[in-house]
Amino acid sequence: MEERDRALYIISVAAELAGVHAQTLRIYERKGLIAPGRTAGGSRRYSDRDISLLRRIQELTTAGVSLAGVRKILELEVQLEGAAEQILDLEATIENLHGELRERVEAVHRQYRRTLVPVRTAVVDIRR
């Protein structure tokens, strides 16, 4: 588990860190915008990643986006993040394939060098 995902903060601390009221966090949870960790006793615990998410939600709602709009934006941001990771993976694959292709082309060139006869030793019929 990444350190950012460790659920550390109780609801009052998380609310203070995010700049909202604790009741707002409960509303966000009911609306499905955030899913804090829970202790064995059922108490909410928020991670640094949760705090970042809460700040992003606040940023969007302050800009006038409804909670339904916030949910959609967050979903799209997750999709974009996944697409960006896929693009990076594809770029790495392409770079690996280019390297492999360069190696194969060089191997073919080496093979040609072995099978070609130097001009100095070649017998050429100059008769026409």
Does 127 map to a domain? no
Structure confidence by residue, pLDDT tens digits, 108-118: 888 877 776 66
Predicted pLDDT at 109: 85
Q: Within this chain, do residues 75 and 99 fall inside the same structural domain, yes or no?
A: yes
Q: What is the pLDDT of residue 128?
A: 63
Q: What is the mean pLDDT of the chain?
A: 89
- Comparing C-alpha atoms, which of 32, 112, 113 is closest to residue 68? 32
**Angstrom distance (rounded) from CA 40 to CA 37:** 10
Tell if the pTM clears 0.75, that is, is over it: no
Chosen domain end from 24, 42, 64 = 64
How many structural domains comprise the chain? 2
Range of the domain at 78: 66-118
Helix axis angle for 48-62 and 67-115, nearest 10°, is: 120
By the 8 A CB rule, do 94 and 86 touch? no
In a shared domain, residues 76 and 54: no
- Per the domain annotation, does 123 fall within a domain? no
**Of 47, 64, 81, at which residue does a domain stop?**
64
Average pLDDT of span 42-54: 94
Say if CB 33 and CB 57 are below 8 A apart.
yes
